[in-house]
Amino acid sequence: MKSNYLNIIGIAFRAGKCSTGEETIVKDIQKTRAKLVLIANDVGPQTRKKLTDKCHTYGVPYVIVSDDRETLSNAIGKSHRVAIAILDDGFANKLESLLG
């Protein structure tokens, strides 16, 4: 199951349906482009609070995944990514079903 959701994240990233970086994700949440936010389990407390508060305020679902930032970053081929916003309903629904 774990590798399935990481594969979906990689496909979504290559399809251009993801955003990374704290500020970019916050903007996507505020503009309601983000359909799902995935947060690594080892994210710092301030970043976690900022992202989860924005998600609550704008009604965007989020999941704190069981993997660390390195595993999440490797899924998209980038380094030092603690969160990923999924910008597509189809990918978001699939990920929610796998992680739910």
Q: What is the pLDDT of residues 10-23, one digit of tens each?
A: 999 999 999 999 99
Looking at domain 2-99, which of 3.40.50.920, 3.40.50.300, 1.10.10.10, 3.30.1330.30 is its CATH number?
A: 3.30.1330.30
Mean pLDDT, all residues of the chain: 94
> How many CA within 13 A on the CB side of residue 83?
28
Is the Cβ–Cβ distance between 2 and 66 less than 8 Å? yes
pTM (two decimals): 0.94
Give Cβ neighbours of residue 54 (< 8 Å, ≥ 6 apart).
Answer: 26, 29, 30, 60
Max Cα-Cα span within the chain: 31
Predicted pLDDT at 1: 46
Give Cβ neighbours of residue 75 (< 8 Å, ≥ 6 apart).
Answer: 6, 7, 9, 10, 13
